[in-house]
Structure 1
């Protein structure tokens, strides 16, 4: 490729989206950030990204945005898409938004990309759409889907969106990345940082859930997105994870790092067996009949029961992707949260 591609990025102002824009910009790509009127454009300061108006729920605006990127392209700088935008949440009120954004919004932006003759498109999915480990073995991109009965709208809508994208592989060169739980600086509003903040402030409660997660750094994920764009195979999925940690191991490792910083954090005392966790889910569902729980929900509790253990061997072998050690990522995350005054210290 003699000239860098023109890349339209959705979800550009989010935690991962900002990192993707920085990564692409640093490698010489011309980034076109799709922004809604209410988007905080200041978070993209420092990148040479162009700002393009558009909304996933407004197909006409997406067609205009895609056409703008196409017109800025040439035979040596083709138009590409990175679809990163998604609605995440585990409360009852999140369900309709997730169907609209994750499923309908994905269909809308890929339709606009096809009509504007984009030559390549990458969809940022999630490791949860691959499935969970039923034994000690990690799932891979070829593992059969086993989370279809999990009543969590985020999981089901992300899976449905991924299937819609893969169905387009005959018409468009599509690739998919499936990141694990993303940690890193700049994610203070995300679920992973909220977990660390709650742990530092003693608000996690006395109980550790039975499941676990495959973790990855935000900058590593952004680099994986770029490598999948450049080196990935048409119609392929690429899991982006560093290592798997059960929730107790994650808490213990985080607390050890916090104590080195003078933060008086403690690991919750009790570990609940997986077989007893449905009782906690049932209790949350009863509460939800009367009001939305303040601390957690039945959907969130369902998510922390399985082992989301996934292998990134394909990304390492085919893309040459090498993630940073999680200990370093965790340290950088805690440094950022402490600098923001979000951790309680002695």
Structure 2
């Protein structure tokens, strides 16, 4: 039996589909406010006729990763665990919520893996938990970590990684992947899905800098290949291409039939936007979207090295533009 956490998210939904298509017996946990129908909808993008049949094959268990009794039920007869559940926020006021879900929740998963003698755990982290590079060098898995310039999300994901490494020291076989921005269909109002909405609105401005990008199916392929291998106690950067925000928004705009952005956002404009974003958050209680650390990361972008996964697995990444075109086709159908 394979257990998946975060099964109602972008990575989790695609992972579940992959496992089910390969006749794997799957259990997934979900919270009361989870949108299970969205998982079935993602399935329909790829296997429309069999989406319901595959979805019904999942053994769903109502459990929060901080609810130990419910998790103990979910872990019964489980051999392998994919831990993709996480809270994503870059708002400093969400730090303690992030720590509870990302760090303490991961500690719970690790502890239950150990007590249930799980054979292997695959943890989905983030490139934000990769240490910064010396200027002019690519970031690798060996970069030294410093939390000084990290945002609150990265801080808690790094702490979660420490829990996973702690598990490895106690005898649990683990692998960690550190994905960049994940491109995939169906979650248009959250995470990387916002990029499609931004490009569709045909804004004339684009932010400076860039980052690493990867398709969701490559993330799933990497996870499952590592899980089925004898590789243990290693981490891998999951980035297919390093792309500027101008380039990615232009590619998306073209696929959506929109005008590509042509004007770069200046530092003063970003700082002005940060000020108004702070006021909006103060008045409405909404999450902050632009912080000092956000702006600093835009002005000092990191370039990520994916050579380790290529050398270790002979991994070949799928064509990013083909996936973007596929996603944009679905986006236009669902947002006419």
Q: Which TM-score tier does this pair reach, normalised by the shorter chain?
A: 0.7 to 0.9
Change over 3 Å in CA distance of 1:258–1:165 after alignment to 2: same
Whether the 8 Å contact between 1:132 and 1:307 is mirrored in structure 2 is no
Please state how far the C-alpha of 1:216 moved relative to its aligned partner. Answer: 0.6
Q: How many residues align?
A: 319
Secondary structure of residue in 2 paired with 1:69: coil
Please state how far the C-alpha of 1:297 moved relative to its aligned partner. Answer: 2.6
* Structure 2, unpaired ranges of 5+: 41-51
Whether the 8 Å contact between 1:214 and 1:241 is mirrored in structure 2 is yes
* Residue of structure 2 in register with 1:313 after alignment: 307
Change over 3 Å in CA distance of 1:122–1:295 after alignment to 2: closer
Please state how far the C-alpha of 1:93 moved relative to its aligned partner. Answer: 4.8
Choose the corresponding residue for 1:269, options 263, 280, 295: 263
Please state how far the C-alpha of 1:143 moved relative to its aligned partner. Answer: 1.7
Secondary structure of residue in 1 paired with 2:149: coil
Q: Which has the larger share of helix?
A: 2
Please state how far the C-alpha of 1:300 moved relative to its aligned partner. Answer: 4.4
* Residue of structure 2 in register with 1:297 after alignment: 290
Please state how far the C-alpha of 1:317 moved relative to its aligned partner. Answer: 2.0
Change over 3 Å in CA distance of 1:285–1:199 after alignment to 2: closer
Whether the 8 Å contact between 1:131 and 1:308 is mirrored in structure 2 is no
Tell me, in whole angstroms, the C-alpha distance in 1 between the residues paired with 2:333 and 2:270. 38
Change over 3 Å in CA distance of 1:22–1:290 after alignment to 2: closer
* Residue of structure 1 in register with 2:24 after alignment: 29
Change over 3 Å in CA distance of 1:136–1:334 after alignment to 2: farther
Say if 2:209 is the partner of 1:217. Answer: no
Aligned ranges for residues 36-75 of structure 1 at < 5 Å?
Answer: 36-42=31-37, 43-44=39-40, 45=52, 46-47=54-55, 48-66=57-75, 68-70=76-78
Of stretches 29-38 and 7-16 in structure 1, the one that deviates more from structure 2 is 29-38
1:227-257 Cα shifts (integer Å, max 9, x gaps): 1111252210011111001112222222233
* Residue of structure 2 in register with 1:169 after alignment: 168
Tell me, in whole angstroms, the C-alpha distance in 1 between the residues paired with 2:35 and 2:271. 41
* Structure 1, unpaired ranges of 5+: 1-5, 71-78
Whether the 8 Å contact between 2:195 and 2:249 is mirrored in structure 1 is no
RMSD (Å) for aligned C-alpha atoms = 2.5
Please state how far the C-alpha of 1:303 moved relative to its aligned partner. Answer: 4.7
Please state how far the C-alpha of 1:64 moved relative to its aligned partner. Answer: 2.1
Please state how far the C-alpha of 1:286 moved relative to its aligned partner. Answer: 5.8
Tell me, in whole angstroms, the C-alpha distance in 1 between the residues paired with 2:265 and 2:270. 14
Please state how far the C-alpha of 1:137 moved relative to its aligned partner. Answer: 3.0
Change over 3 Å in CA distance of 1:287–1:154 after alignment to 2: same
* Residue of structure 1 in register with 2:99 after alignment: 99
1:83-118 Cα shifts (integer Å, max 9, x gaps): 000000223453332111101110011111111111
